[in-house]
């Protein structure tokens, strides 16, 4: 699905499919350089990171192992409380491994801060983060991010894995959702 299918639901398109693919290819080159001669495990955060994880992995010109986690943040409505529950844990032992967490967006930073701490307690060689989008204005908890696709304003965005009530995930572009959709 592209933006023309939902243009009345979007205020604007922030990034096109081509821009996203080009940026992921650039990030893949950085990852390859930084992890040359090292085994790398990339860990996607379900469900939003599926698109980013798949396209990043396909952009890498090296072998890479992949695993997935599903985590839930409790809170009221759309707000995260920072209290996290693991719904699906890693199948891979990360002891002594280089781990790259792949996510689609960093909003408050609460969940990712908790996850980084949790994975670090499992004695990996390293834990780093790659995110396609980051909202600096929304951060409530500092999170060190090694790779960032783009910093964006604190707006409600959908597409390329980002959803509103499980819709728009398969939108190839990333756009700002119109307030009339979620008001």
Q: Which residues are catalytic?
A: 107
Virtual torsion, Cα 90, 74, 50, 42, nearest 10 deg: -40
- In whole angstroms, give the CA distance from residue 62 to residue 57: 9
What is the DSSP secondary-structure string of 41-72? EEEEEETTTHHHHHHHHHH-SS--EEEEEEEE
User: Which tokens belong to 95?
Assistant: 């002891």
């Amino acid at each position: 699905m592209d933006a023309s299918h939902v243009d009345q639901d979007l205020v604007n398109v922030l990034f096109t499919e081509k821009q996203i693919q080009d940026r992921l290819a650039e990030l893949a080159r950085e990852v390859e350089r930084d992890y040359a001669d090292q085994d790398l495990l990339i860990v996607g955060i379900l469900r939003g990171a599926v698109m980013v994880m798949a396209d990043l992995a396909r952009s890498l010109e090296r072998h890479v192992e992949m695993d997935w986690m599903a985590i839930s943040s409790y809170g009221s409505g759309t707000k995260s409380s920072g209290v996290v529950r693991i719904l699906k844990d890693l199948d891979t032992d990360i002891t002594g491994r280089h781990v790259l967490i792949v996510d689609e967006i960093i909003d408050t930073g609460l969940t990712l801060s908790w996850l980084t701490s949790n994975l670090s307690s499992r004695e990996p060689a390293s834990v780093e983060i790659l995110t396609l989008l980051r909202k600096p204005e929304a951060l409530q908890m500092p999170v060190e991010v090694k790779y960032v696709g783009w910093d964006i304003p604190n707006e409600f965005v959908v597409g390329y894995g980002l959803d509103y009530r499980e819709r728009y995930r398969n939108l190839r572009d990333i756009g700002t959702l119109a307030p009339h959709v979620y008001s």
